[in-house]
Amino acid sequence: MIHTTSNMAENYYLGLDLSTQQLKCTLINENHDIVLEEAINFDKDLSEFGTVHGAIVDDNVVTSPTLMWVKALDLLLTRLKDSPYVGSIRGISGAGQQHGSVYWNKEGLEQLSNLDPTKSMYEQLDNAFSIQQSPIWQDASTTTECRALEKSVGGAEALAKLTGSKAYERFTGNQIAKIYHNNRKAYDETARIGLVSSLLSSLLLGKFGPVDAAEGSGTNMMDINSHKWDSKLLKQCGGDELQEKLAEEPVEGGEALGKISGYLVKRYGFNANCRVMPFTGDNSATLVSMNLSEGDCVVSLGTSDTVLVYLKKGAAEPTTESHLMAHPTDPEGFMGMLCYKNGSLAREYIRNSYANGSWDEFNEYLINKEAMAEGNIGFYYWMQEIIPFAKGIYRFEDSKAVEEFKDKTINVKAIVESQFMSMRIRLERMGGNSIKRILASGGAAANPNILQLLSNVLGLPVYRQQGMNGASLGGALLAKFGTVKNASFEDMMAQHPSAGLELICKPDLEKTKQYISHVGQFTDLEKKIVQ
């Protein structure tokens, strides 16, 4: 745990982020300074659940134990209890990995509202879920349900227009449809369905909490313009009874859901007036933490790599390749997003296979080797990729497929270049010509060599925010926004301009020109490998 000394009379705001591999938290004061950060790592701290990188992978079926997340919150709060801040926290919000779903049974909901403060939540909620393994965003096993959902509204484009995205395997509606069709007993035993984000708000409230509109847009079931569940889509995904299992319409960010549960007040010493705000998706929270101005684009390099832009009303067009999601603090605005599944874990495989597990060696090859400039292009999809829909590893020398590059260490530069080329091409298709700078976040943003390559491929300067936990910092800012509520989000941020963004690199425009000259070749090769 890191924390700095601070004035105890102050108010504090807590942000949580239940991501794929960890549960993280960030605590800020009134001036938005970070006073504490803490994390529970699932593989290391909760190894009894047997996850690898936070998940259980069975080919295209990818899940996480729901109870592991409950136990992670127990553990995090136990650590926080020892800090001097808990009684002065006025609001809590946060984020979860998007799309993952949680299935509460009736007894579980009763138990949740009657927790005994002498025991942990984990001990008392062990029979609370009708599905023990929550499907998560890395799952790719619902292609049949996706095609059926698209067909039910007249095709992929029609679904994208209605919900902001065509049907994607990981989107919650398609996951629910799979359970509805293949596991009806468990479906019938389910009283409420929530998301990873709303699991946290529910545990904090001591009752089932709704999802926010940003999270609703990751389900393929919410109307992207009205922010209401679409009854046709609900029926297609889970029959007439799904509406009741979701319980409430999505809510807008910043509307307090209620006060923290008496259980948490008694067990951990929270202030009884501490409010719980809606939790959002990890990408939406990262967007919030960066407080974007026009022309900004976030590139988040984490377990998944994502590209995020803030689109004001009227500037947003849904496409079948990108996602349009409700904005977490601007009810009229949108977040445009690209999401790649093979992010950090894929880069780590390459580091282990070709750079002796050393980031120093990895960096040396990034700086001193040439891949695309010398005709070498690679595509690296260990897991079923989202953009493009492809799986496997493919290498090309002068556009000819090869098993391996003559110099194997070229794989290092090739994986990073190919990810950024894909972003360049998709951003252009999304109408991203007005982008003026890149704001980098996520674990790999700590590596300036990766950021220099990003800058060269996109031809834009790259800035980085201090503090690496964008989503939990965004959560803490949402907690303050919902608690204080006397200003717009922009005004709240303007009152406390943070130390700001640090310029990490400027593009080498000669290199950018070279990358642009390879766009056609890259696009043609990519077409060859798409299933």
Tell me how far, at minimum, the Cβ of 138 lies from ligand XUL, in Å. 8
CB neighbourhood size of 255 (10 A): 13
Q: Is 409 in the site for ligand XUL (CB under 6 A)?
A: no
**472 sits near ligand XUL (criterion: CB under 6 A):** no
Closest distance between ligand XUL and the C-beta of residue 140, in Å? 11
Question: Which residue, 337 or 525, is less far from ligand XUL as judged by CB?
Answer: 337
Phi then psi for 159, rounded to 5 degrees?
-65, -40
Stretch touching ligand XUL by CB under 6 A, among 95-103, 149-157, 263-271, 376-384: 95-103
Residue 396 CA to its chain's centroid (Å): 32
Judged by beta carbon, residue 170 or residue 267, the one nearer ligand XUL is 170
Task: Decide whether 98 or 202 has the Cβ nearer to ligand XUL.
Answer: 98
Contact between 129 and ligand XUL (CB under 6 A)? no
What DSSP line would sit under 443-482, residue for residue? GGGG-HHHHHHHHHHHTS-EEEESSS-HHHHHHHHHHHHH
Q: Which of 90, 99, 259, 395 binds ligand XUL (CB under 6 A)?
A: 99
Name which of 120 and 300 has its Cβ closer to ligand XUL: 300
Element housing 124 (H / E):
helix 121-124
Which among 318, 144, 150 is positioned nearest to 232, based on CA atoms? 150
According to CB under 6 A, which one of 105, 198, 306, 329 is a site residue for ligand XUL? 306
Angle between helices 66-81 and 196-205 (to 10 degrees): 50
Q: Any contact of residue 98 with ligand XUL (CB under 6 A)?
A: yes
Is the Cβ–Cβ distance between 427 and 463 less than 8 Å?
no
Closer by beta carbon to ligand XUL, 14 or else 136: 136
Instruction: Kindly state whether residue 259 participates in binding ligand XUL, applying the rule CB under 6 A.
Output: no
Q: Which CB, 342 or 411, lies closer to ligand XUL? A: 342
In angstroms, the CA 164 to CA 311 distance is: 13
Q: Which residue has the tokens 């010509």?
A: 433
Identify whether 388 is preceded by a cis peptide bond (ω within 30 of 0): yes
Strand partners of residue 212: 251
170 is an interface residue for ligand XUL by CB under 6 A: yes
- Nearest residue (CB) to ligand XUL, 282 versus 417: 282
Sign of CA dihedral 195, 198, 202, 208: negative
Work out how close the CB of 300 gets to ligand XUL at its nearest, in angstroms, rounded to a whole number: 8
Q: Is 37 among the residues that bind ligand XUL (CB under 6 A)?
A: no
Residue 257 exposure: Cα atoms within 13 Å on the Cβ side = 31
For residues 86 and 213, which CB has a smaller minimum distance to ligand XUL in the complex?
A: 213
DSSP H or E stretch at residue 513: helix 509-517
**In the complex, what is the shortest distance from the CB of residue 31 to ligand XUL, in angstroms, rounded to a whole number?**
29
For ligand XUL, the closer CB: 170 or 275: 170
The nearer residue to ligand XUL, 411 or 441, going by C-beta atoms, is: 441
Distance of CA 477 to the CA centre of its chain: 17
Q: How far apart are CA 26 and CA 37, in angstroms?
A: 5
Two tokens at 338?
Answer: 């690209």
One residue of 282, 296, 385, 526 binding ligand XUL per CB under 6 A: 282
Nearest alpha carbon to residue 64 among 139, 136, 171: 136
**21 binding ligand XUL? (CB under 6 A):** no
Stretch that binds ligand XUL, among 105-113, 275-283, 357-365, 427-435 (CB under 6 A): 275-283
Smallest separation (angstroms) from ligand XUL to the CB of 325? 8
Q: CA 478, CA 287: separation in Å to the nearest integer?
A: 11
User: Do the beta carbons of residue 310 and residue 499 sit within 8 Å?
Assistant: no
- Piece of the chain touching ligand XUL by CB under 6 A; list 92-100, 447-455, 484-492, 522-530: 92-100
Q: Write the interaction track for ligand XUL spanning residues 210-229; mark x where CB under 6 A is met and - where it is not.
A: --------x-----------
**Largest alpha-carbon pair distance within the chain?**
67
Question: What values do phi and psi take at 48, rounded to 5?
Answer: -60, -15
| 417: number of Cβ within 10 Å | 26
Does the footprint of ligand XUL cover residue 166 (CB under 6 A)?
no
Query: Which of the residues 321 through 380 are near ligand XUL (CB under 6 A)?
Result: 339
Binding range to ligand XUL, per CB under 6 A, among 115-123, 277-285, 286-294, 459-467: 277-285
Is residue 505 within 8 Å of 438, Cβ to Cβ?
no
Q: Return the residue of 63, 66, 142, 283 that touches ligand XUL, per CB under 6 A.
A: 283
**Does residue 304 interact with ligand XUL by CB under 6 A?**
yes
Binding site for ligand XUL (CB under 6 A): 19-20, 97-99, 137, 170, 218, 281-283, 304, 306, 339
